[in-house]
Structure 1
C-alpha cells in the first residue's frame, strides 16, 4: 500500500463519527435532554458526516457511560495512529535526497495534507468526549436537587420525560 493510500485510510474517521451518531440516537431514544449528551453532539460535528442505524434506548446509566468510554478510547487510538504516521512521514521527508522520486515526495506532502486536519478533528472530538463528566455532572445535579427537595425519582422510568421505560428486550 502506498503512503498516500495509508494516509487516506488512517485519516478516515467515518467509523468514529458513526459511533458518535449511534450513541446520539440511543440518547434520543432514551428521551435524554440534549444538554446531557452535548459532548457526543460536539464530537459528531468535529468528526463529520456518518451513517448509523438507530439504536435502542439505554437500559441504564452504566451503558451510556460505557459507550462514552469506548468512544473516548477509540478516538484516542485513532489519534495515536494519525500521529504515528505523521512522525513516520516527517522522518521520511527529512531523509529526502536528490535520488528520491518526485512522485514519492508529492505523496509524502499530500499525506500530511490529509493527516494534519484529521488529527485536529479527532483531537477536538476527543476533547469534547473527555468533557463528558463535567457535562453529566450538570445533568445529574438536577436529579440530586430533586431528591434533596424531598421528591422521588421515577422507578424504572425516564427522569426527563416521566414516562415509564419499556421493558428490556
Structure 2
C-alpha cells in the first residue's frame, strides 16, 4: 500500500467523529448538563461531526466514563499512526535525489498535505477528551457538596424531573 493511501486512511476520522456524536447524543438523552460533557462536544466538532439524535441514555456514570476512556485510547492510537506516517514521509523526502520518480515525490508531499491537518484535528480532539476529568470533577462537585450537607440525591439521578419513580 502506498504512503498516500495509508495517509488517507489514517486521516479519515469519520468513524471517530460518529462515535463522539453518539456519545453526545447519549449524554443529552441522559439529561446531563452540557458542561458535563463539553469535552465530548468539542472532540466531536474537532473531528468534523454534527450531533447525532436519538441515542439511548447512559445506564451509569461508569458506562459514560468507560466510553470516554475508549475514545481517548482510539484518538491516541490514531495520533500515533499519523505521527508515524508523517515521520516516514518526512524521512523519505529528505532522501530524495535526482533519480527519484516525480510521482513518488508528489505522493510524499500529498501524504503530508493530508496528514498535517488530520494531526491537528486529532490532537485537538484528544486534548479535549484528556481534559474530561477536570471538567467532570467540577460537574460532580455540586453533587458531592449536596450529599456532604446530609441531603440525598434524586432517585436514579433524575435531577430534571425530580420524579421519585421516572417510569410512573
Q: TM-score with structure 2 length normalisation?
A: 0.92
1:29 maps to 29
User: Mean Cα displacement is larger for which, 43-52 or 20-29?
Assistant: 43-52
1:56 maps to 56
Q: Does the C-alpha gap of structure 1 residues 129 and 160 become closer, same or farther in structure 2, counting only changes over 3 Å?
A: farther
Give the deviation of 1:158 after TM superposition: 1.9
1:124 maps to 124
Retained in 2: the 8 A contact 1:20–1:40? yes
Q: Does the C-alpha gap of structure 1 residues 141 and 87 become closer, same or farther in structure 2, counting only changes over 3 Å?
A: same
Question: SS of the residue aligned with 1:156?
Answer: helix
Question: SS of the residue aligned with 1:159?
Answer: coil
Give the deviation of 1:90 after TM superposition: 1.1
User: Quick one: distance in 2 between partners of 1:119 and 1:161?
Assistant: 42
User: Quick one: distance in 1 between partners of 2:161 and 2:35?
Assistant: 14
Paired residues in the alignment total 167
Give the deviation of 1:95 after TM superposition: 1.3
Give the deviation of 1:5 after TM superposition: 1.8
Gaps of 5+ in 1: none
Retained in 1: the 8 A contact 2:25–2:51? no
User: Quick one: distance in 2 between partners of 1:147 and 1:137?
Assistant: 15
Correspondences of 1:77-96 after superposition (within 5 Å): 77-96=77-96
User: Quick one: distance in 2 between partners of 1:135 and 1:152?
Assistant: 23
1:101 maps to 101
**Root mean square deviation of aligned Cα:** 1.8
1:65 maps to 65
Give CA deviations for 1:22-76 in whole Å, capped at 9, x if unaligned. Answer: 1111101111110000000010111112685742111111000000000000000
User: Quick one: distance in 2 between partners of 1:21 and 1:36?
Assistant: 15
Q: TM-score with structure 1 length normalisation?
A: 0.91
Give CA deviations for 1:80-126 in whole Å, capped at 9, x if unaligned. Answer: 01001111111111111111111110110111011011111101100
User: Quick one: distance in 1 between partners of 2:7 and 2:33?
Assistant: 38
Retained in 2: the 8 A contact 1:32–1:160? no
